[in-house]
Chain A
Amino acid sequence: MTAGLNQSSIVEALPTNGPASPPRSNGELLFEAPWEGRAFGLMVSLLDQGIFTVGDFQAELISAIAEWESLERPTDEYRYYECWLVALERLVVAKTEVSDTEIAHLSSEFLTRPAGHDHAHEH
């Protein structure tokens, strides 16, 4: 009942094995893009270390989803992990020494990398 917009084309564009292949369960894609898996893993990793609780994350995720749903932009595909990432960013800023500004600066820096850059770390 959900419209997996372009999901099949994204899947077809990705390798079917090796580290870049998308995770699947019963043939269904769990993450529609690799970054969604990273965002998932980051959250669980911080949870495991007690940086925040499931309840903290749940509350932020609920706010982020509610904000998304209150925006008037009916043409946008609902992106669950976008909301997940917003919730995660807010909790990281609230609970660690990483600041909003740092996230923004490093993101801008990554954005201006020349095409074909080497990743700074293994994915």
Chain B
Amino acid sequence: MTAIPQKRPPAPIRTEALEALLTDRGLVTAEAIDGLINRFVNDVGPMNGAKVVAKAWTDPEYKARLMADGTAAVGELGFAGPQGEHIVVVENDEKAHNVVVCTLCSCYPWPLLGLPPNWYKDPAYRSRIVREPRAVLAEMGLELDQDVAITVWDSSAENRYFILPQRPDGTDGLGEDELAALVTREAMVGVAKVHAPA
């Protein structure tokens, strides 16, 4: 494999050339690409993951299935697709905090959380969260007590980790939809907690 040459046409030009050549070969169409971009930008987002979390909080049997086989349980709700294979769910609670990274690239459960945010792809997050998770989480606004054990999960094509955050106190009266609205993407990666409505 050759190294990345230092001097070559800029990425926008190369992308356009690649699309034109693949279009000529009948391998892609502009419409299909437009449709995919549209789907991932508008239809797939962290709300899918939030629905999974809200259902697990309110339905113990669903939660048991989710913990046992993440991919099958999220598939029950209709969330499947590329990068949705091999989903492994880990649960956060009072004493154990889990956080997800992909140290090698950016493996991420697309059908649940949409596309990864920029900080998830950043080399600094990818290396530092492993070495000093408590400090990095604090910088990101999540201060954890010293007695909370932190586990960092390294996602890959074999295992895509998804965090089931702790259900916040004071949310007993809320329904599934109201609960889902509280769940953020950051909480499902493990860099934040879910908070009860103010």
Contact = CB atoms under 8 A, between A and B. Distances in A.
B46 interface: yes
Interface string B11-34: 111111111111101011010111
A80 B106 contact: yes
B84 to A, nearest CB: 10
Contacts of A10: none
A42 B118 contact: no
Interface of A: 1-2, 4, 23-26, 28, 30, 33-35, 37-42, 44-49, 51, 54-55, 58, 61-69, 71, 78-82, 85-86, 88-90, 92, 96-98, 102-104, 106-111, 120-123
B4 A68 contact: yes
Given A96-B22, A103-B21, A121-B23, A35 B11 contact: yes
A26 B125 contact: no
A80 to B, nearest CB: 5
Nearest to A113: B13
Contacts of A68: 4
Nearest to B113: A25
B34 A41 contact: yes
A71 B121 CA distance: 18
Given A1-B125, A98-B22, 5 more contacts: A51-B27, A58-B107, A58-B156, A67-B4, A82-B11
Given A2-B122, A96-B25, A96-B27, A38 B19 contact: yes
B3 A35 contact: no
B123 A46 contact: no
